[in-house]
Amino acid sequence: MLNRKISRRSILLGAATTVVVVSSSRSARAQADPLPAWNDGPAKQAILDFVHAMDQVPQKDRIATFDQDGTLWVEHPVYTQAMFALERVHTLAPQHPEWKDQEPFKSVLANDEAAIAKFGERDWAEIVFATHAGMSQAEFQDIVGRWLATAKHPRFKRPYTELVYQPMREVMDYLRANGFKTYIVTGGGVDFVRNYAERIYGVPPEQVIGSSIATKYEIRDGKPELMRLPKLFFDDDHAGKAIGIDLFIGKRPYAAFGNSTGDREMLEWIGAGQGARLKMLVHHDDAQREYAYGPAGGLPDTHVGTFDQSLMDEAKAKGWVVISMKSDWKRVFAFD
Amino acid sequence: MLNRKISRRSILLGAATTVVVVSSSRSARAQADPLPAWNDGPAKQAILDFVHAMDQVPQKDRIATFDQDGTLWVEHPVYTQAMFALERVHTLAPQHPEWKDQEPFKSVLANDEAAIAKFGERDWAEIVFATHAGMSQAEFQDIVGRWLATAKHPRFKRPYTELVYQPMREVMDYLRANGFKTYIVTGGGVDFVRNYAERIYGVPPEQVIGSSIATKYEIRDGKPELMRLPKLFFDDDHAGKAIGIDLFIGKRPYAAFGNSTGDREMLEWIGAGQGARLKMLVHHDDAQREYAYGPAGGLPDTHVGTFDQSLMDEAKAKGWVVISMKSDWKRVFAFD
């Protein structure tokens, strides 16, 4: 049953690449490749070997968790959700004349990039609460959906929802074809990500774990609503990712994918399980096709995940596989 | 595909009842009955009609939520988890000589049932924190598993895990056979219920939503552990059930089953959705086979869910279906 699924999918995935392949044995190999956007190398091989080892694991325990920003889609120059929040401040400004003289809103409205780059946690919390709270869950979903339909990334000039890494989408598909449940475990807001996760990653709302603000049950006009409050409920980052996985799933995943120190504890938690466990980190070292930051240097990572030397050292010490965007990925985006 | 699943399952479920059936037409009906532990009547019919109406709903949206204590298994004379906590106080007493003179532990150790019946929220919190915190998640699972293996219900003299309502297990099976994901949404502790939910209800850990205490990520002897803290994190009862459903699932379920005022907001939340939604309440009115409390009178509900007149009134006003244990259930337990 599973094998049939895989080979059907593999044929579909491989179809585009067979055109340039010459010998029949190479063609057969290309057709069987579930990861055509990956170059051959240790990262791709680690994924293939891991899935092979999963024959030993009951299907109900096959869980894989993926960080989102910087792991599944572009996070530079600023998280998509932060961009949403900044643009939302502009949209709401007419209803808040006081923001013109009040930080951090003043700097946002003045598009003062230097000031925004220096925002601390408290500034961002104020911006998030002003833009993400004070409405019902249904109203928030409507606002996010409408924003995503028109917003574009400043460099790629495409909707954010197109800036998904094609190799990672292939990994998700490949794992699902092998009986895995794929989860997103994001430091971002769970309700924001649920708005599009099924559409662009094939991950349903109940498999998105993320940070959340508190909500309050209220009867409005005789109808129950969940109102969003300006108060953090759960911070699903760093240790919060291990805690969130335990709280929402209650099982230790077999595979985890991240790209920053915010994913460190998630990878440690998965790695402490017995048997084959796949721990991977995306390293942004491709300034040409995407961005180069972290140990690859180049860009500042003020607003994005930090991939510092300590994470690289831990990866080496613990056998976590570092994915080089530049050398491991044949294609970065579906539109490449 | 679905139909095939249903009929195969129905044949299996019906097999035991066909022996006593005489005419061939009756036999065919018995074999097709997915709910053999239910008497014919409005409650059973409501379930059958609801599942029929679900043809219109995409399978990915078919979510059903079940309260646990008093809805899926016996909650009288005290919640199973409260029994665990009380017995655990006795077990831990030698390490806590101070408890002999310190309430609420003093009353527990003296088996002072009158005092225990008067415990307030703060007393129970102290007992829960003393018995459910201060160990890792893995250690807690081990403690719960060992307790469940030997503990017995004071009246039925059977393991608690056998005190599951057979009609409700049939509803879960029937819904799953029709493409539903079944969730438990309990005021009880999520980690306690996850210990056995898959084994006795077929509900995997990731589909158990419940109350939780805070955990802390710690490296012990080089290995990450999640340590349980004496601090409430999430109270999954009353409004918390609607909030928990939204937080953990992110979709509005189509069916919900409860038995107390703690389930009121869950049923209201489900009922506010469009299209066919099934809202059911188990009414404990069967002193002979189980217990009679709530509007059916008889026993006090000090430690169990409250089914008061206001809930009965709301059920009538909103078309929620009240299940009479006495008249709607042909069998109560699998061992009947």
Q: What is the DSSP string of A311-322?
A: HHHHHHHHTPEE
What gap in Å lies between CA B35 and CA B47, rounded to an integer? 9
- With CA atoms as reference, the chain A residue closest to B61 would be A204
The pair phi, psi for residue A181, each rounded to 5°, is: -90, 125
pLDDT at B334: 97
What gap in Å lies between CA A292 and CA A295, rounded to an integer? 9
What gap in Å lies between CA A87 and CA A223, rounded to an integer? 31
Quick check: B29 pLDDT over 70? no
Overall average pLDDT of the B136-148 stretch: 98
pLDDT at B297: 73
- With CA atoms as reference, the chain B residue closest to A234 would be B233
Residue among A137, A248, A251 whose CB faces B248 most closely: A248
- With CA atoms as reference, the chain B residue closest to A241 would be B217
Overall average pLDDT of the B246-272 stretch: 98
| Average pLDDT over chain B, rounded to an integer | 90
Q: Is the dihedral of CA B265, B268, B272, B273 positive or negative?
A: positive
Quick check: B254 pLDDT over 90? yes
pLDDT at A22: 37
For residues A178 and B117, the model is more confident at A178
The answer to whether A190 contacts chain B (CB < 8 Å) is yes
Reading the block at residue B195, the tokens are 């210990």
The dihedral formed by the CA atoms of B324, B329, B334 and B335, expressed in degrees to the nearest 10: 90
What gap in Å lies between CA A255 and CA A49, rounded to an integer? 12
Reading the block at residue B281, the tokens are 């309440």
pLDDT at B302: 60
Reading the block at residue A139, the tokens are 């109203």
pLDDT at A32: 82
pLDDT at B295: 81
What gap in Å lies between CA A125 and CA B5, rounded to an integer? 50
Overall average pLDDT of the B211-223 stretch: 97
The dihedral formed by the CA atoms of B162, B168, B170 and B174, expressed in degrees to the nearest 10: -140
Quick check: B28 pLDDT over 60? no
The answer to whether A313 contacts chain B (CB < 8 Å) is no
What gap in Å lies between CA A305 and CA A188, rounded to an integer? 11
Task: Count CA within 13 A, CB hemisphere, residue A268.
Answer: 24
Reading the block at residue B254, the tokens are 């189509």
Query: Beta A278-283 vs A321-324: how paired, if at all?
Result: parallel
> Which residues lie closer than 8 Å to A164 by C-beta, 6 or more apart?
A72, A73, A200, A201, A333, A334
Length of chain A: 336
Asked if B206 lies within 8 A of A181 by C-beta distance, the reply is yes
Reading the block at residue B217, the tokens are 């990520």
Mutate to test the interface with A, among B217, B234, B261, B270 (most CBs of A within 10 A): B217
pLDDT at B16: 32
Block mean pLDDT (10 aa), chain A, length 336: 33 33 44 92 98 96 98 94 97 98 98 92 95 98 98 97 98 98 98 98 98 98 97 97 98 98 97 97 96 80 77 96 98 96
Asked if B217 lies within 8 A of A226 by C-beta distance, the reply is no
Residue among A60, A205, A243 whose CB faces B204 most closely: A60
State the pLDDT confidence band at B136, using cuts at 50, 70 and 90: very high
Residue type, B326: K
The answer to whether A250 contacts chain B (CB < 8 Å) is yes
Q: Is the dihedral of CA A293, A298, A301, A306 positive or negative?
A: positive
pLDDT in tens, B184-200: 999 999 999 999 999 99
Reading the block at residue A217, the tokens are 């049950």
Burial of B236 (0-12, 13-18, 19+ CB in 10 A): buried
Reading the block at residue A322, the tokens are 């570092």
What gap in Å lies between CA A207 and CA A209, rounded to an integer? 6
CA-based nearest distance A82→chain B, Å: 21
The answer to whether A229 contacts chain B (CB < 8 Å) is no
pLDDT at A300: 67
What gap in Å lies between CA B64 and CA B146, rounded to an integer? 30
Per-window interface: A 258-297 vs B, CB < 8 A:
265, 268-269, 272
Asked if A205 lies within 8 A of B265 by C-beta distance, the reply is no
Place of tokens 């792991």: A71
Asked if A242 lies within 8 A of B224 by C-beta distance, the reply is yes
Residue among A63, A224, A265 whose CB faces B224 most closely: A265
> Which residues lie closer than 8 Å to A37 by C-beta, 6 or more apart?
A166, A167, A170, A329, A330, A331
Q: CB of B325 within 8 A of CB of B284? A: yes
